[in-house]
Amino acid sequence: MAGPIYEPSGRAREYAELALNLFEGCPHGCAYCYSPLVLHCDRETFHTNVGPRKNILSNLAYQLDLEEQNFIGKRVLLCFTCDPCADGNNVTIRQAIQLLHDHDVGVTILTKAGQRSFWTFDFLGELDTYAASLTLLNATDSALWEPKAAPPLERINGLYTAHAKGIETWASFEPVIHPDVTLALLDLVLPYIDGAKAGPLNYAGRLPAHLRAKLQGNVNWADFAEEFEDRCHIAGVECLLKQDLIKLAHGVSA
């Protein structure tokens, strides 16, 4: 593929067949963010210099015209290395959605932006999905780990509202910081989601010391994985455990 739509590899491939990163950087400032590491850039720069990628819309339009048959009927995830709704640049994402829809391509919005993302509901249809990342339930804890992301209840409200509008939804529980909190979050959103995906915290050694000290020790990952799956299955919700989590559940380091 010669363009901004790409086929994810590695861990990202478990979440989406196709993806599109509309922006450079992300303002949420999440302590566990892997993007600066993957993109080989300074963390502070990544979280402060945020804007649309150069020529992103024209490059997207060109790729869709050139490779339309590769994408028709499929979904493109927005986004892996940024949050499509984080910086309030609604023009870029709205035009990207329109370009994709014009070529019969669906989108998946994956966001922690809460209310800043709710406007997208008016542009999402049967081809599309709305997904929210959920990590912590207490707003104070969330502000410590994800200082500029929307509060947890605001993200949960996004899933509720999208579901009420008939939009397909799923929740991303990655990273799992406190397994018991993840299960509590799962219980809150099970009535409003079609799918749930969970993955562990990677690169914990790169966290600031004060956050490493808050991590739960001696986690029984096998019990957590089984409980997560059981609750999803009882609710009739599709469940995906990432391979790193499955390895931990089998006693293998991720």
- The predicted-structure confidence for 132-152, as pLDDT tens digits, reads as follows 999 999 999 999 999 999 999
Q: Does some domain include residue 147?
A: yes
Q: Is residue 5 part of a domain?
A: no
Residue 1 is assigned to a structural domain of this protein: no
Does the residue 3 lie in any domain?
no
Q: Give the confidence band of 15 by pLDDT, cuts at 50, 70, 90.
A: confident
- Tell me the CATH number at 85: 3.20.20.70
pLDDT at 254: 56
pLDDT at 253 over 80: no
Give the pLDDT of residue 38: 83
- State which residues form the domain around 198: 10-249
Q: How many independent structural domains does the chain possess?
A: 1
Q: What is the pTM of this model?
A: 0.94
Whether residue 21 lies inside any domain: the answer is: yes
| DSSP label at residue 146 | S
Residue type, position 248, single letter: L
Q: Does a structural domain hold residue 153? A: yes
Please give the average per-residue pLDDT across 205-219, as a whole number: 89
Q: Examine residue 91 and state whether it is found in any structural domain, yes or no.
A: yes
**pLDDT tens, residue by residue, 82-96:** 999 987 778 999 999
pLDDT digits (tens, 9 = 90+) for 43-85: 888 899 899 999 999 999 999 999 989 999 999 999 999 999 9
- Do 52 and 110 touch, CB atoms closer than 8 A? no
Instruction: Tell me the mean pLDDT in the region 182-191.
Output: 98
Could you tell me if residue 4 is inside a domain? no
Give the Cα separation of 80 and 60 in Å (integer). Answer: 16
Instruction: Round the CA-based radius of gyration of the chain to a whole number and report it.
Output: 18
What are the strands of the beta sheet with 168-176, ordered from one edge? Answer: 75-78, 106-111, 129-133, 168-176, 195-200, 238-241
The CA distance from 227 to 61, in Å, is: 44
